Chains A and B, each alone.
Chain A
């Protein structure tokens, strides 16, 4: 069985080496794709409108829903980072409800 395969393997080896030696430079091809989106929303609850309206423009909800439980302080720091570092246009009156929502949904126990 093994012996039968051997010549084929050698031939393949030679063929691929020859190919590599005279391989033309790769020819790139234009590409057009569609990226999937997500229509997932945050679960209903106090503050869910605030988080749905402010946070889903830049990233889908799964990013947040996959996070571990964090302290309210850590959630406040995350929301502040989104606003200060990443310029998320969150209305001032929505910041508190968003932090409370996150601490309620994913607060450290």
Chain B
């Protein structure tokens, strides 16, 4: 009991100190900015402040202040396929996040089932290994969780817990080869500098199978969109796992441990698991289901230039534009429907910036008569997988990829 009381004291002290610091900061740089937004979450609450209070970040939808959960305002996705760093969404599990990072002191450790333990400086990584570039979508496993029905607990995101960047870095394979992976290695466990507030809580770590870690695509990024990462997006190093959900994209990556047996840590084995069913979907209340770690992403598409509630001209052509991504493969096609999915027509795809990134699409449509319309967009990826027309459901609110609808009026 005394231990718990001491811990409470420590935590309270830490909170008070933190709050005092922010009090001073708030005068110059208010967390609560001038505007708010109402996210269309069924049953609510959808009201969120737009904050400009986070360093290195522009206007963001404030889902949680500490640890930060910041959502990208959806209009950002209409501006192009690369999401600006200062509006790239942010998601942390634990509140102890280093805020003072000295690039001369930072090191990345490679240890475990290897021939040689390494401690790599940023210079070792930037100057000593071949540099690679790749555009890839980083999407939270629970992106769009707030749209699940029935609703489920967790971060209540609309569709903005995703972003696409051009990542520059080194191959994880090259780093592992430098250490020399021993025969019998099965997984690689990745850990960042963030820490839980409560000391015995599980440190955030994720593991990839050894063959995946060595596939030459998984990379350690030191730049996004040509610049160093914002601190809240994982400066100085972040794992990039193309085609896989962002839970694997460990931020502030500082420790790589090669394992000779499967990882049993909480974050790999228990958290971030999905029903082993089509679309990771089950009926609410269903429990007799095998759970597996979340893994590859699935295709999605969005209209970005028209929002629900907008009015368009009837009997005149309207431009319809959006983004799509294939998940674990490229975008083969995006089709749209204005008649509840009875008929679909193709759209024109924009420049291909790489199979793991966003791809823009565009078309024109003319409402045949005044009235209400639902604009549907459906991405089919290059593996032939298309977005489903009914929403999935699981208790964690993971992997939504139903055909989304934008409801408008033509007049």
Contact = CB atoms under 8 A, between A and B. Distances in A.
A36 B65 contact: yes
B367 interface: no
A7 interface: no
Contacts, number: 143
A87 B122 CA distance: 34
A68 B44 contact: yes
Chain A interface, >50% SS class:
loop
Given A39-B19, A62-B64, A34 B200 contact: no
Interface in A42-78: 53, 56-60, 62-63, 65-70, 74, 78
Interface size class of A (residues with CB under 8 A): 35 or more
Interface of B: 4, 7-8, 11-12, 14-15, 18-19, 21-23, 25-26, 29, 31, 41, 43-45, 48, 51, 53-56, 62-69, 94-95, 97, 99-104, 122, 126-127, 131, 146, 151, 153, 155-156, 168, 196-198, 200-202, 222-223, 226-228, 231-232, 235-236, 266, 270-271
B175 to A, nearest CB: 16
B153 A67 contact: yes
A85 interface: yes
Given A36-B22, A36-B66, A68-B151, 6 more contacts: A30-B101, A36-B54, A59-B64, A66-B63, A86-B202, A89-B7
A40 B49 CA distance: 13
Contact of A28 (B4, B43, B103, B198): B103
Contacts of A87: 196, 198, 200-202
Nearest to A34: B25
Contact of B104 (A30, A34, A68): A30
A35 to B, nearest CB: 6
The CB with the most chain B CB atoms within 10 A, among A26, A40, A70, A85, is that of A26
Nearest to A85: B266
A25 B131 contact: yes
Contacts of A6: none
A39 to B, nearest CB: 5
B156 A68 contact: yes
Contacts of B168: 26
A78 B66 contact: no
A31 interface: yes
B198 A74 contact: no
B156 A66 contact: yes
Interface in A4-38: 25-26, 28-38
Contacts of A39: 19, 22-23
Contacts of A26: 126, 168, 222-223, 226-228
A40 B126 CA distance: 42
Contacts of A62: 62-65
